[in-house]
Amino acid sequence: MNNEISYRIRPAIISDATVMAQININSWKSTYAGLIAQTFLDAMNNEHYVTKWQNILDVRNDVHRCVFVAEVENTVVGYVTAGRAIKEHSEYPAELSALYLLSEFHGLGIGKALFLSAVRELDHRGYESFALYVLKDNVIGRSFYDRYSPDEIIDKQITIEGAVYCDLLYGWYSIKNVLQLHTSP
């Protein structure tokens, strides 16, 4: 695959739930293999995640969240979701809660487009700052987010299926600064 790929970013709709569930599961299994308990990864259930994404994409359930998908040749290859903070961190009222892209589409600018689409939407909704969490051992994810020069990185602990892991909070004090530094005129 070359670096000249055509893609589009659009708001997600309920009919995207099935493919988003597959991306969710496949991304977790490839990204977190060897980093979190394999029993948890093996237990990820497609039916559960389809229902989860249908509920998320039903705007009546959460008007504070935005979800965008990336399409290549009319096929969804990634997604991002952001909105009002899910986790408590008072200095960051907004949170980018997920960004997943099929691995064969890494390095083509699609992840950046998803990230900036979510950040723009947070700005449009009046948020001034935002945060996200990335597993400390997720070197690829950390490398991606480090490019956007977070204002702070804080160690946090999370528990998944009884096991404790180190999660990193990446925080940006100014959404406008992120957009000015990383958006072409």
Q: pLDDT tens for residues 131-145? A: 999 999 999 999 999
The CATH number covering residue 34 comes to 3.40.630.30
Give the mean model confidence (pLDDT) for residues 71-89: 90
> Strands 94-101 and 130-135: what pairing?
parallel
Number of structural domains the chain divides into: 1
Tell me if 3 is assigned to some domain.
no
* C-alpha span between 178 and 120 (Å, rounded): 9
Tell me if 1 is assigned to some domain.
no
Radius of gyration of the chain (CA): 16
Model confidence pTM above 0.75: yes
Per residue in 108-121, pLDDT tens?
999 999 999 999 99
Tell me if 2 is assigned to some domain.
no
Phi-psi label, residue 162: left if phi above 0, alpha if psi -120 to 50, beta otherwise: left
Tell me if 42 is assigned to some domain.
yes
pLDDT value at position 172?
Answer: 96
Residue 185 has pLDDT above 60, yes or no: no
Tell me if 56 is assigned to some domain.
yes
Q: What is the DSSP string of 154-182?
A: EEEEEEETTEEEEEEEEEES-HHHHHHHH
Tell me if 123 is assigned to some domain.
yes
Tell me if 94 is assigned to some domain.
yes
* C-alpha span between 170 and 91 (Å, rounded): 12
pLDDT-derived band at 91 (thresholds 50, 70, 90) equals confident
Count of positions (residues) in the chain: 185
Tell me if 139 is assigned to some domain.
yes
Which residues form the domain of 68? 8-182
